[in-house]
Amino acid sequence: MDGRGELTAMAPDDTGPDDLGPYDFEPEEFEDFHDDGPRYGDVSELGGMEIPAALKGLTLFRDPYLSMQAFNLAIVDGFLNGLEQQVLRRLIDEERTPIDDSMFLNAQSQMWIFAAYEVMRTWRQRAKDLIKWHANGGLQLKLATLKEDKGFHHPGNASRAAMLRDVIADPGLVDRLRDDLKRTHVLFTRMEYLRVSLAKHEVSGKAKMLAIAPGYGRINSWCGALDYELNSGQYILGYINRRDIADSLRAIPSLPVPSDEELKSFDAFMKGPPD
């Protein structure tokens, strides 16, 4: 058993695994537990602001507009937690995929994943830029450019200039940025693979290779979120759902800093065997 419920993105004429009808499922799947209990925690125990708190703990994630995006993720996460629970309850009670709720969940889940990816991508690019400018002596030049009088107040430039001044005043922030980039590397890479599949219908890093089944999700029998395949060409690397990403974001403060060897091994795994 792998914890995934019935298919939610199938055409009516399709058939599911083991020649099941497209809206059938095996009740035994809902008895699947890890040795230490259910795979996911109870959403009722979430306070609601864990995602913004975790993201704002990243070095120089203090930009008010990035913070606003983090709060948006938390607000919609709370809504989707409830919708995922509703879809799972209906699947169990009705013994068939609730098509209406599942289609809506699929649409909303993809939009949330895109938003979460963009928050992380934006912060990571800024962190990489600051590290690069520190290394090549370009911090002062970039700061001068941001401080140029443009004839109007530019809050975005002012916020970015404050980050540059912080790094100039405390070069130790560069090491913290490097650690935070490593700490979030695995999570972000998995998000990137999923985002490329969902949005571009391609395999990440292989622009000429089409994704096998972009947008095809199965209801996870532990939490109700939709499991999407992560694949590298013909090889399935695993499955990931929106709840996995949300829980990983909440866990950022407790994530260890992986070694360069560990990251190299992970990247090699994500590339998959040679085609």
Q: Which residue from 74, 76, 112, 88 is spatially nearest to 38, judged by alpha carbons?
A: 88
Mean pLDDT of 70-93: 97
Flag whether pLDDT at 81 surpasses 90. yes
Mean pLDDT of 91-116: 96
Q: Which residue from 72, 95, 97, 78 is spatially nearest to 87, judged by alpha carbons?
A: 97
pLDDT at 77: 98
pLDDT at 21: 29
Task: Return the domain boundaries, the chain.
Answer: 4-9+46-268
Question: CA distances (Å), 95 to each of 9, 19, 87, in order?
Answer: 17, 16, 11
Mean pLDDT, the chain, rounded, equals 86
Q: How many CB atoms lie within 10 A of CB 178?
A: 15
Mean pLDDT of 149-164: 89
154: alpha, beta or left? (left if phi > 0; alpha if psi -120 to 50)? beta
Mean pLDDT of 162-167: 94
Mean pLDDT of 95-120: 97
Q: How many CB atoms lie within 10 A of CB 140?
A: 11
* 2-38 pLDDT, tens digit each: 444 433 333 333 333 333 223 233 333 333 444 444 6
Q: How far apart are CA 130 and CA 142, in angstroms?
A: 10
Which residues lie across from 236 on neighbouring strands? 231
* pLDDT, greater one: 36 or 84: 84
pLDDT at 275: 61
β-pairing verdict for 226-232 and 217-220: antiparallel
**Chain Cα centroid distance, residue 121:** 10
Mean pLDDT of 136-141: 94
Task: Give the torsion through C-alpha atoms of 22, 27, 101, 84, to 10 deg.
Answer: -140
5 secondary structure, DSSP code? E
